[in-house]
Chains A and B, each alone.
Chain A
Amino acid sequence: MPAFLLLTLMTAIRILSRNRLRAGLTMLGIVIGVGAVIAMVSIGEGAKAAVQAQVASMGTNVIIVLPGSTTVSGVRGGQGGAVTLNVSDALEMKKRIPLLQDTGWAKRDVMQIVNGNKNWNGSVNGVSPSYLSIRDWSFTSGGPFTQADLDAAVRVALVGQTVVENLFEAGEEPVGSVIRIKNVPFRVIGVLAPKGQSAQGSDQDDIVFIPFSTAERKVFGTQFIGSVGALFATTERQEDLFAAVDQIREFLRARHRLQAEQGDDFTIRTQVDIGKVQEGTSQTLTVMLLSIAAVSLLVGGIGIMNILLVSVTERTREIGVRMAVGAKRRHILMQFLIEAMTLSVVGGTLGIVVGVVGARLTTLIAGWPTIISGNTVVAAFVFSLVVGLFFGLYPANKAARLNPIDALRYE
């Protein structure tokens, strides 16, 4: 049987190559279908990976607690408007909730930063030293400030890449220089490694970190000492994230003496929630792409079926001769099935090439990230094989069921 299959395959290739234009046009549907799938999935995967990298840039297993809104004469201040969270919440939370590995806090404002004759309006953040490790910030030069700096409210600053680009000459070393924030001089002790865009699309590198206590006392002029813009917490394991969220909620409600009928005066978000939104979007996109792919493969398959039906009719006499000299039904069936699968597999292979080239060109021309996964390529190949098998079955069966006498007499 294997020898039969090999020879039948050779015959199929010869028959198809006799009519190259026809075979090519028949394959075109599959080529376009598979090519589109490969290219689209590559672009989708590339976008997904970029989003995942952004989400990961938040740090690992991060929980963010934001203050609730204020309501003044019925006008609600929006998220983070109230001053319901403070430093002691963070410190107590860490003591009382063992699941939490660490907690940190931050408060931000946009301010003018000056270096010599250059100035820049950037996001100035007063943070705890723990915040830096929770959010996974690393340094290209220098290093973080310490608890001692926080305790003594020392005027030191860490600067992000965007700030460096706008305040310093190219090649100038920021570490050791003195910048002024709201006219208060700060010594730069570290330059942050770039993180790029956040999951929401903002520039994470347009940032300056200073110790929280320094910010409170010397820059922001805070009305309520100890109030924070956001609390951050982290767990050791991702599985504990949701349990930790529940415990934080319970803890904060008790601490803020909220009654059962009152809503939370804070909002808790996790990295997973943020990732989910993005994943949902890309999933919708994937489903859409796959439906398009399914439709084009269906159309391609129908093309194959159509041309095979023509071929069966054209070769009716030949089928009769083959039957007369001893071809069994399965021999005829296999011959046409193999022809169908040759068309679809060659089409699928060309489609893979087209898709890979398309994805590369997209990266090259549009600059979008693309990832060509082996799984997609294998799936596309297998799928085109199945399309050939499925749509070849009807014409092949039609050929195999011919009556030898009728087939021999066919004009």
Chain B
Amino acid sequence: MTSGNGQPVSLIQCADLWKVYRLGDVEVQALRGLNLTIEQGEFVAIMGSSGSGKSTLMNMLGCLDQPTKGHYWLNGVDVAALRADELAEIRNRQIGFVFQSFNLIPRTSALENAQLPLFYRGLPLREQRTLAAAALERVGLKGREEHYPTQLSGGQQQRVAIARALVTTPSLLLADEPTGNLDTESSREIMTILDRLNKEEGITVILVTHEPDIAAYAAREIVIKDGQVLTDRRTKPGHPSSLVGR
């Protein structure tokens, strides 16, 4: 993937990223000039204590929020300049979210939950159903299409959430403590799925966690502190660029 002037374009490029909140009279600097580059196909774990700014960074990377200052290029597009509806469009087409608390729509079947992004994309109903069913099958939930979230275990619910994130074939999967509410066995299942999606389908996975054994699935570990990158190290060999342009 290259930009207009022939320079290779990274999937994610953050330059001097600032986010400043006002909480009453107090000014909170959640991000303080953060710089970060992530290539297509990487599997990255972001770690850090609470209040380090890692959640703010995830919101920013997920186009749920915009920086106060600085630039965030996603696939070469400067997100800081976009309007709310354009951000929604990017979230719909390029990003899949997996949350700690699953965040499925209650009293709505697994299939319909997985369909949701396609519904907002405006695809015909038949196509929505076909794609959503295929996504559920990819996370091993074939036959559970009509189950409601309450009829599924935590691990299964999280798999529905992954199917919902996958259904749009995004280039980026953001998982915010995806195993935080799960037991060890379910956690392992979820991480295996994320790992497989990264290795076999080349989807870039960014994972926020504070559990080292979960972070160990990733090939790169970034520690955030006080709104800046503290350490950034490769924990597994191999370069993801072999998957670029696949």
Contact = CB atoms under 8 A, between A and B. Distances in A.
A324 B120 contact: no
B64 A324 contact: yes
A166 B168 CA distance: 90
Contacts of A18: 107
Nearest to A7: B119
B92 A4 contact: no
Contact of A326 (B91, B99, B125): B91
A3 B64 contact: no
Of A321, A322, A327, chain B has the most CB atoms within 10 Å of the CB of A321
A324 to B, nearest CB: 5
Contact of B64 (A4, A331, A405): A405
Given A3-B124, A326-B117, A326-B121, A408 B64 contact: yes
B103 interface: yes
Nearest to A317: B103
B163 to A, nearest CB: 12
A234 to B, nearest CB: 69
Contacts of B103: 317, 320-321, 324, 408
B93 interface: yes
Interface residues of A, number: 22
B120 A326 contact: yes
Contact of B122 (A4, A322, A405, A408): A4
A310 B153 CA distance: 29
A408 B99 contact: yes
B105 interface: yes
A321 B120 CA distance: 12
Interface residues of A: mostly helix, strand, loop or mixed? helix
Contacts of A331: 120
Contacts of B119: 4, 7
B77 to A, nearest CB: 16
B191 interface: no
Contacts of B36: none
Interface string B81-112: 00011001101110001010001111100000
26 contacts: A1-B122, A3-B122, A3-B124, A3-B125, A4-B122, A7-B119, A322-B105, A322-B116, A323-B64, A323-B88, A323-B91, A324-B64, A325-B97, A325-B120, A325-B164, A326-B88, A326-B91, A326-B92, A328-B120, A329-B88, A330-B85, A331-B120, A405-B64, A408-B64, A408-B99, A408-B103
Given A318-B105, A318-B106, 16 more contacts: A4-B119, A4-B122, A7-B125, A321-B116, A322-B105, A322-B120, A324-B62, A324-B91, A325-B92, A325-B116, A326-B93, A326-B120, A328-B84, A328-B120, A404-B64, A408-B103
Interface of A: 1, 3-4, 7, 18, 317-318, 320-331, 404-405, 408
Interface of B: 59, 62, 64-65, 84-85, 88-89, 91-93, 97, 99, 103-107, 116-117, 119-122, 124-125, 164, 168
